[in-house]
Amino acid sequence: MTHFKYNRILVALIVVGLLAALTVGWQRHQVEEHNKTVELIMDYEDVVELAQVEGVPLNSLLAQVKAAGITSLAVYETTLEKLNKSGKITAVSGAQILHQERLGTLSDPAWKSLVQAGSILPEDVYVTGQDAAVFAEVKSDLERRLNADRVQVLNAGGRQVLAVKANFEKVEKWNLGLPTDEMQAVANNGFFVVARPTNYTQVQLDDVQAVFARLAPIEPVSAIMFVGEEVLGFPDQLAATADVFKQRKLTLAMIEHPLQLQFVKQEGLMQLAAANQYQAARVYVIPKDEQPKLKIDEAIQRWVVTDQERNIRMNLMRKYDKPEPGKSLIETNLEYISGVSKALQAEGFSLGRASTFPPYFPSPWLMALITIGATAAGVLYLSLLRTFSVKLQLALTAVLAAVLVVPLLKGSGMQVRQAVALVSAIIFPVLAMTWQLDRWKRVRANNRSLPAIIGAAIPSIVVSTAISFIGGFYVASILGDVRFLLEMEIYRGVKLTFVAPLLLITLSFLVRYELFKNEQGQPLNIWQQAAKILDYPVQVKSLVVVALAAFAAWVFVGRSGHTAGVPVPAIELKMRAFLEQVMYARPRGKEFMIGHPAFFLAVMAVYRQWPAALLYVLVITATIAQGSLVETFAHLRTPILMSFVRGLDGVVLGAIVGIIAVLGAHILYYIAFALGRGTAKHE
């Protein structure tokens, strides 16, 4: 058997890279710890509707909502339909006016005179109103959305009437502009205003200026959360939008995608965030079809976990439309708001205007050291598959590191950073388990006692986990800038991170253990063993095993990342909720329920001389946990401390489950042994 040596220089380079990664990790932790203020937001329209449904004064309900914890109210652009319902504006089609005249129900002489003069056309829309300020805004908005030629001012008995050339069913639903009266009402009641404007078709500079001119007298405005598929100013006027953002120190609200991966698509969003020097906050809203299914305490826990784990700093809370038993609708919603507020503050968050990250970017020199460490780890792994000279190892490391480091020191190198993160996420779990394989090969099997097996397994899994943590810190640091914290950029190798370590540890295993031997009982090398596997006869039981393995792989890979392909069982969801409540960071099930227990059983397999094929299966399964631990750090939106604690929680809980698994295997062995002796006795 080949004895592999671990190149101490390569190990030293890995340690230097770890020190650099820990430095960046500490800097990142400080940035994250200063970003702990959450903005609780409701739609102003929701509060108005709730007041109307329950028949209470709006100002009274606004005071109660504020006292419960809401810090901000979102104000959308108005529409003719909304204004009609509120009574602020009357908008009707020309056809409707003509019908009234023919039926004799048109009593206003001013309107009659317009009809008689032929000024009312059936295809046009006619707008009037009592509030001069609102009417003026509607006139301005219609002229801007349509153009001035399509909006004519008529005189109806001293009142101005807008004759608009547009389809009534369409135009009444169009977003017009931000309503000053609603924004002022929000500000006057002590809330931050979160403005929700839309972009214009063929947007011009004066369109952008008009939106911000309407916002100018409103204080305080905390953020702008755009509506639609484009941000204001896209594509040609983004610079003008960014200038006002910076002048007024406005926060750009970025709405998380329902699949929890990046954001709801809005053209220009990423460019505007960068131009605004990353003064942006991630927004979460519970999907409209999902919230009614959640009990209030479940929704509260959802918000706590969301803010803790995904750097969400703006909670856009929808109202509940169905009251809880024994409570009014207002009491139900106030209980919900108050519950979220208290739960967040209990977890160390404060409430107010959403905090934002500074434009943090790690030092290129620290990233260069991490890159050199990752390169050394890759070369070290190769040297553990096939021995080659120390000089060649160092030369290969130097050449690869030089190629990768140069772009980083020039201030670019995003692809290099992604590659370093991918290599780190793949290699370190494999190094952790390869090191164990080398230790296990030196173990003399002597059917050691159960306490001795457990005693050997615990320090072994601690060391393996420590090696995997190096990879985790490499990933968390090399990609640890503000763009990744906001999830404007993401780690690109999630699926490969789960699959590649299993393939590489297979190579390590076949180099060190013999699954097959030839007719003379001599061990086969790695390529001969691979050929033996490919030549293995196809039997029904083999197909069953392959089918089970394929199903497990489908679940394993399908459950990774942010896909909706593999559903999560209800019992697992309940277990997750329980662990989220009792632990600082819920560990991953594939770690503490599967991978870490398999590690303990692998130690047992080594000391009890179980078949090599069974040991291989256990090693593969244990590698899943190590890879999962590193991949946790690839969720860059999750605070680095939480990722670290999640891994520790998984090891501790996994060790407990692993000890139980070893005890269970021991009991099953003796039961089988006893049954076997009993059968032989009676033959």
pLDDT-derived band of residue 591, with 50, 70 and 90 as boundaries? confident
Q: Please, what is the average pLDDT of the chain?
A: 88
pLDDT, one tens digit per residue, over 426-439 is: 999 999 999 999 99
Average pLDDT over residues 349-353: 96
pLDDT of 630 = 94
Tokens at residue 84, please? 């009609």
Q: Counting Cβ atoms within 10 Å, is residue 146 exposed (0-12), middle (13-18) or buried (19+)?
A: middle
Tokens for 400, please give them: 């690869």
pLDDT of the residue at 252: 97
- pTM, two decimals, is 0.86
Give the model's pLDDT for residue 680: 46
Question: How far is 47 from 30, CA to CA, in rounded Å?
Answer: 37
User: Can you give the residue ranges of every domain in the chain?
Assistant: 36-77+177-351, 81-171, 422-660
pLDDT value, residue 386: 87
Question: pLDDT at position 349, please?
Answer: 96
- Which has the closest alpha carbon to 18: 366, 353, 348, 481? 366
Local structure of residue 293 (DSSP, 8 states): G
> Residue with structure tokens 């969301």?
306
Position 670 scores a pLDDT of: 78
From CA 454, how far away is CA 182, in angstroms rounded?
A: 67
pLDDT of residue 231 exceeding 60: yes
User: Per-residue pLDDT averaged across 489-495, rounded?
Assistant: 89
Strands 125-129 and 159-164: antiparallel
Measured CA distances, 449 to 453, 470, 608 (Å): 6, 33, 10
**DSSP output for 242-268:** HHHHHHHTPEEEEEBPTTSSSBS--BT
Taking phi over 0 as left and psi of -120 to 50 as alpha, with beta for the rest, 228 belongs to left
pLDDT at 68 over 80: yes
pLDDT band at 682 (very low <50, low <70, confident <90, very high): very low
Distance CA 271, CA 79 (A): 29
Instruction: Give residue 643's pLDDT band: very low, low, confident or very high (50, 70, 90).
Output: very high
Average pLDDT for residues 655-680, to the nearest whole number? 79
Can you tell me which residue has the tokens 């919230």? Answer: 291
Quick one: tokens of 303?
């918000």
41, 317 Cβ separation under 8 angstroms: yes
The CATH number of 36-77+177-351 is which of 3.20.20.370, 3.30.70.270, 3.30.470.20, 3.30.450.40? Answer: 3.20.20.370
Q: Which fold has domain 81-171?
A: Phosphorylase Kinase; domain 1 (3.30.200)
| Model confidence at 672: pLDDT above 80 | no
pLDDT in tens, 603-619: 998 998 888 888 999 99
Q: Is the pLDDT of residue 194 over 60?
A: yes
Mean pLDDT of 513-542: 60
Using one digit for the tens of pLDDT, what is the confidence trace for 549-586? 455 545 545 555 544 455 556 665 566 666 666 667 77
Per-residue model confidence as pLDDT tens digits over 387-425: 888 999 999 999 999 999 999 998 888 999 999 999 999
**Res. 321: pLDDT tops 50:** yes
pLDDT higher than threshold 50 for residue 545: no
Question: Over 50: is that where the pLDDT of 497 sits?
Answer: yes
Residue 537: band (very low, low, confident or very high) from pLDDT cuts 50, 70, 90:
low
Q: How far apart are CA 344 and CA 301, in angstroms?
A: 9
